[in-house]
Protein backbone atom coordinates (compact mmCIF):
# COMPACT_ATOMS: atom_id res chain seq x y z
CA UNK A 1 0.00 0.00 0.00
CA UNK A 2 1.17 3.51 -0.80
CA UNK A 3 0.77 6.30 1.74
CA UNK A 4 1.00 9.99 0.97
CA UNK A 5 0.85 13.06 3.17
CA UNK A 6 -0.55 16.13 1.42
CA UNK A 7 0.52 19.42 2.92
CA UNK A 8 0.26 23.10 2.32
CA UNK A 9 -0.77 26.22 4.17
CA UNK A 10 -4.43 27.23 4.47
CA UNK A 11 -5.73 28.08 1.00
CA UNK A 12 -3.14 25.98 -0.85
CA UNK A 13 -5.84 23.70 -2.29
CA UNK A 14 -4.93 20.45 -0.54
CA UNK A 15 -8.57 19.56 0.23
CA UNK A 16 -9.65 20.07 -3.38
CA UNK A 17 -6.69 18.11 -4.72
CA UNK A 18 -6.97 15.30 -2.14
CA UNK A 19 -10.47 14.33 -3.24
CA UNK A 20 -9.43 14.16 -6.91
CA UNK A 21 -6.18 12.29 -6.23
CA UNK A 22 -7.87 9.73 -3.98
CA UNK A 23 -10.41 8.98 -6.71
CA UNK A 24 -7.84 8.74 -9.53
CA UNK A 25 -5.39 6.48 -7.67
CA UNK A 26 -7.86 4.46 -5.54
CA UNK A 27 -6.43 5.95 -2.35
CA UNK A 28 -8.49 6.33 0.80
CA UNK A 29 -8.70 10.06 1.61
CA UNK A 30 -8.19 10.40 5.36
CA UNK A 31 -9.20 13.86 6.54
CA UNK A 32 -8.87 13.80 10.32
CA UNK A 33 -11.43 16.59 10.74
CA UNK A 34 -14.01 14.60 8.76
CA UNK A 35 -13.09 11.42 10.65
CA UNK A 36 -13.50 13.08 14.06
CA UNK A 37 -16.94 14.38 13.13
CA UNK A 38 -17.98 10.98 11.71
CA UNK A 39 -16.89 9.07 14.85
CA UNK A 40 -18.82 11.47 17.07
CA UNK A 41 -21.91 11.39 14.83
CA UNK A 42 -21.83 7.57 14.75
CA UNK A 43 -21.67 7.42 18.55
CA UNK A 44 -18.76 4.96 18.55
CA UNK A 45 -16.74 4.36 21.73
CA UNK A 46 -13.95 6.41 20.22
CA UNK A 47 -16.43 9.11 19.23
CA UNK A 48 -17.78 9.29 22.78
CA UNK A 49 -14.25 9.59 24.14
CA UNK A 50 -13.42 12.39 21.69
CA UNK A 51 -16.71 14.19 22.30
CA UNK A 52 -16.05 14.26 26.06
CA UNK A 53 -12.55 15.68 25.47
CA UNK A 54 -13.76 18.30 22.99
CA UNK A 55 -16.64 19.33 25.28
CA UNK A 56 -14.05 20.63 27.76
CA UNK A 57 -12.41 22.72 25.03
CA UNK A 58 -9.32 20.52 24.88
CA UNK A 59 -7.65 19.18 21.75
CA UNK A 60 -8.02 15.48 21.09
CA UNK A 61 -4.72 13.87 22.20
CA UNK A 62 -2.38 12.52 19.52
CA UNK A 63 -2.75 8.93 20.70
CA UNK A 64 -6.54 9.12 20.30
CA UNK A 65 -6.22 10.50 16.76
CA UNK A 66 -3.66 7.78 15.91
CA UNK A 67 -6.06 5.16 17.34
CA UNK A 68 -8.83 6.53 15.10
CA UNK A 69 -6.59 6.46 12.01
CA UNK A 70 -5.36 2.94 12.84
CA UNK A 71 -8.97 1.74 13.13
CA UNK A 72 -9.78 3.27 9.72
CA UNK A 73 -6.70 1.69 8.12
CA UNK A 74 -7.48 -1.71 9.65
CA UNK A 75 -11.06 -1.57 8.33
CA UNK A 76 -10.07 -0.54 4.79
CA UNK A 77 -9.24 -3.46 2.56
CA UNK A 78 -9.96 -2.31 -0.99
CA UNK A 79 -7.72 0.71 -1.56
CA UNK A 80 -4.25 1.10 -3.03
CA UNK A 81 -3.22 3.15 0.00
CA UNK A 82 -3.99 6.29 1.94
CA UNK A 83 -3.82 10.03 1.41
CA UNK A 84 -3.48 11.87 4.73
CA UNK A 85 -5.00 15.37 4.68
CA UNK A 86 -4.80 17.55 7.80
CA UNK A 87 -2.68 15.13 9.75
CA UNK A 88 -0.01 14.99 11.00
CA UNK A 89 0.29 18.58 12.23
CA UNK A 90 3.44 18.25 14.34
CA UNK A 91 6.68 16.27 14.23
CA UNK A 92 5.50 14.21 17.24
CA UNK A 93 2.33 13.26 15.34
CA UNK A 94 4.44 12.37 12.30
CA UNK A 95 6.60 10.06 14.42
CA UNK A 96 3.49 8.46 15.95
CA UNK A 97 1.92 7.96 12.50
CA UNK A 98 5.16 6.46 11.19
CA UNK A 99 5.35 4.02 14.14
CA UNK A 100 1.71 2.97 13.72
CA UNK A 101 2.20 2.39 9.98
CA UNK A 102 5.43 0.44 10.61
CA UNK A 103 3.52 -1.90 12.97
CA UNK A 104 1.34 -2.74 9.94
CA UNK A 105 4.27 -3.22 7.56
CA UNK A 106 3.56 0.15 5.94
CA UNK A 107 5.39 3.46 5.65
CA UNK A 108 4.93 7.06 4.55
CA UNK A 109 5.97 6.96 0.90
CA UNK A 110 5.94 10.67 0.15
CA UNK A 111 5.06 14.07 1.58
CA UNK A 112 3.57 16.22 -1.19
CA UNK A 113 3.79 19.91 -0.25
CA UNK A 114 1.87 22.52 -2.21
CA UNK A 115 4.00 25.67 -2.43
CA UNK A 116 1.94 28.84 -2.74
CA UNK A 117 3.23 32.33 -1.98
CA UNK A 118 1.70 34.38 0.82
CA UNK A 119 -0.20 36.93 -1.30
CA UNK A 120 -1.80 34.17 -3.39
CA UNK A 121 -2.91 32.32 -0.22
CA UNK A 122 -4.59 35.44 1.16
CA UNK A 123 -6.30 36.11 -2.18
CA UNK A 124 -7.59 32.51 -2.37
CA UNK A 125 -8.88 32.51 1.21
CA UNK A 126 -10.76 35.78 0.73
CA UNK A 127 -12.26 34.44 -2.51
CA UNK A 128 -13.21 31.19 -0.73
CA UNK A 129 -14.95 33.24 1.96
CA UNK A 130 -16.99 35.02 -0.70
CA UNK A 131 -17.89 31.77 -2.49
CA UNK A 132 -18.49 29.43 0.45
CA UNK A 133 -19.19 31.79 3.31
CA UNK A 134 -16.48 30.27 5.53
CA UNK A 135 -16.19 32.76 8.39
CA UNK A 136 -12.57 31.79 9.18
CA UNK A 137 -11.56 33.03 5.72
CA UNK A 138 -13.08 36.54 5.96
CA UNK A 139 -10.95 38.25 8.58
CA UNK A 140 -7.40 39.18 7.43
CA UNK A 141 -6.10 38.89 11.02
CA UNK A 142 -7.50 35.34 11.30
CA UNK A 143 -6.00 34.45 7.91
CA UNK A 144 -2.57 35.73 8.99
CA UNK A 145 -2.80 33.82 12.28
CA UNK A 146 -3.71 30.56 10.49
CA UNK A 147 -0.73 30.97 8.14
CA UNK A 148 1.57 31.79 11.09
CA UNK A 149 0.35 28.72 13.03
CA UNK A 150 1.01 26.54 9.98
CA UNK A 151 4.55 27.93 9.67
CA UNK A 152 5.33 27.50 13.37
CA UNK A 153 3.74 24.10 14.06
CA UNK A 154 3.47 22.27 10.76
CA UNK A 155 6.38 23.42 8.60
CA UNK A 156 8.94 21.64 10.87
CA UNK A 157 7.49 18.36 9.50
CA UNK A 158 8.94 19.33 6.12
CA UNK A 159 12.49 19.12 7.49
CA UNK A 160 11.65 15.84 9.26
CA UNK A 161 10.43 14.36 5.95
CA UNK A 162 13.31 15.90 3.96
CA UNK A 163 15.75 14.03 6.22
CA UNK A 164 13.89 10.79 5.40
CA UNK A 165 14.05 11.51 1.66
CA UNK A 166 10.26 11.65 1.22
CA UNK A 167 9.68 15.42 0.86
CA UNK A 168 8.29 16.46 -2.55
CA UNK A 169 7.62 20.18 -3.17
CA UNK A 170 4.91 20.86 -5.74
CA UNK A 171 4.19 24.18 -7.44
CA UNK A 172 0.73 25.00 -6.06
CA UNK A 173 0.05 27.95 -8.37
CA UNK A 174 -1.97 27.65 -11.56
CA UNK A 175 -5.29 26.14 -12.48
CA UNK A 176 -6.76 23.32 -10.39
CA UNK A 177 -6.15 21.00 -13.36
CA UNK A 178 -2.50 22.11 -13.75
CA UNK A 179 -1.78 21.47 -10.06
CA UNK A 180 -3.64 18.15 -10.22
CA UNK A 181 -1.45 17.15 -13.18
CA UNK A 182 1.75 17.91 -11.24
CA UNK A 183 0.57 15.93 -8.21
CA UNK A 184 -0.64 13.05 -10.40
CA UNK A 185 2.74 12.81 -12.13
CA UNK A 186 4.49 12.46 -8.77
CA UNK A 187 2.07 9.82 -7.47
CA UNK A 188 2.27 7.94 -10.80
CA UNK A 189 6.01 7.59 -10.23
CA UNK A 190 5.23 5.51 -7.12
CA UNK A 191 2.38 3.47 -8.61
CA UNK A 192 4.46 2.48 -11.65
CA UNK A 193 7.54 1.36 -9.72
Catalytic residues: 14, 89, 128, 134, 146
For residues 74 and 101, give the distance between their C-alpha atoms in angstroms, rounded to a whole number.
11
For residues 190 and 174, give the distance between their C-alpha atoms in angstroms, rounded to a whole number.
24
**3 state SS of 49:** helix
Question: Partners of 30 in the beta sheet?
Answer: 84
CB distance 3 to 108 below 8 Å: yes
| Full DSSP string of 60-129 | PPHHHHHHHHHHHHHT--SSSEEEEES---SHHHHHHHHHHHHHTT----EEEEEE--HHHHHHHHHHHH
CB distance 5 to 190 below 8 Å: no
| Full DSSP string of 148-182 | HHIIIIITHHHHHHHHTT-EEEEE--S-HHHHHHH
DSSP single-letter state for residue 152: I
Amino acid sequence: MLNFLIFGPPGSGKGTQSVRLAEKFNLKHLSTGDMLRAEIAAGTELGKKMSAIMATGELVPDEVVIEMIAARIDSTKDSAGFLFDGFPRTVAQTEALEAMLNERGMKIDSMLVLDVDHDELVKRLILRAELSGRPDDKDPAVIENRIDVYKAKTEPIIEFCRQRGIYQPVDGVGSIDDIFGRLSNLISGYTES
